[in-house]
Amino acid sequence: MKATQKLHDLGQSIWVDNISRGMIKSGTLRRYIDELSVTGLTSNPTIFDHAVGKSADYDETIRRKVAQGLSGEKLFFELALEDLTQAADMFRPIHERTAGLDGFVSLEVSPLLAHDTKKTTAVAKALHEQGQRSNLFIKIPGTPEGLPAIEESIFAGVPINVTLLFSAEQYVAAADAFMRGIERRIAAGLRPHVASVASIFISRWDVAVKDKVPSALVNQLGIAVGKQAFREYHKLLDSPRWQRAFNEGARPQRLLFASTGTKDPKASDILYVKGLAAPFTVNTMPDATLQAFADHGDLGAPLPIDGGDCDKVLADFSKAGIDLGALANQLQDEGAKSFVKSWNDLIGVIESKSNTLRKAS
């Protein structure tokens, strides 16, 4: 039995952190589903920037859409939704078998809207309606500015993948926004089953401190943060607040571990898969990490509900001079800026291709 199947049997959903037209056409995504127990996928502006910019797979569609008068962001979302709706249909049997818990794909709203709650909420709803798939998540960053849009989107019934979370505190804030949206739906007499995941980024912690801590602490921070978030996740699931919502028909917002590809070439290429195995969670991983785990992965002990040694490990980092709260905010800010850059690069690539193809036609 492959390690990916064992991880799935443990109770963790395996998603691939990638999407491209080539993955679908070549049968790669189908193979991931059939052979590597993949039950969903995530995307972001960087992924689509690479997909569109580094292949000719989108040229014909771009040429056709340009002739219809589309450009810029509208053209991008048409391209992205063509890919994601095909992928969503491939995951549909999983989505139906799990009663809407799993089998999701994700599309991010424009990061340029980060400070506009009203517009983010409107765009999230419009994109979900445009996709016409119940297993399409709309991604909204869990920044302080994004939290009101998350609450409003959940209240509006839009499935949300909360992205760019870096700490247990940021996770708790995002979970609270989700809960407020659900509780408002219950108070309004609306169906409270609105799907959501909360995505906490792992590997960037270790990259950020690799040259600032003793060797014994290298590559220890990301997993410790993940354990701490997992503890807070279970505190919420065990709380009367959640159980009241569950009693009304709500489904939990699952914890998702993101950025789980190993960045340090000296470390294990399955570090964050083995170290973050846990039931009722999701791990979304790059292709290389997925394939490595399938090839030579093995499972360690599942994450402890009480966080295990996370408090001690985090205290060791604090003693080494790492301000964990400040670093979490820095990583979130840098992540948001990185997505803006990728977004601008992506729109630039689409506009450049559009102009080239227009002239050639």
Mean pLDDT of the residues in the chain = 95
Q: Give per-residue pLDDT as tens, 121-139.
A: 999 999 999 999 999 999 9
Indicate the pLDDT class of residue 22, thresholds 50, 70 and 90: very high
Whole-angstrom CA distances from 221 to 14, 38, 267, 310 are 22, 27, 13, 9
Number of structural domains, the chain?
Answer: 1
pLDDT range class, residue 361, cuts 50, 70, 90: low
- Is residue 356 very low, low, confident or very high in pLDDT (cuts 50, 70, 90)? confident
- Mean pLDDT of all residues in 146-169: 97
Closest by alpha carbon to 158, among 109, 133, 186, 195?
A: 195
The CATH number of residue 338's host domain is 3.20.20.70
341 is catalytic: no
- Per DSSP, the three-state class of 209 is helix
Active-site choice (25, 54, 139, 212): 139
CB 275 within 8 Å of CB 223: yes
Does the pLDDT of residue 287 top 70, yes or no? yes
What is the distance between the alpha carbons of residues 130 and 224, in angstroms, rounded to a whole number?
A: 39
pLDDT at 21: 95
Q: For residue 114, give the nearest of 138, 141, 148, 150 by alpha carbon.
A: 141
Per-residue tokens: 131: 């996709």
Q: Model pTM?
A: 0.97
More confident residue, 113 or 24: 24
Q: Which of 1-10, 47-56, 165-174, 228-237 shows the lowest per-residue confidence on average (mean pLDDT)?
A: 47-56
Which pLDDT band, with edges at 50, 70 and 90, does 359 fall under? confident
Structural domain for 156, as ranges: 3-360
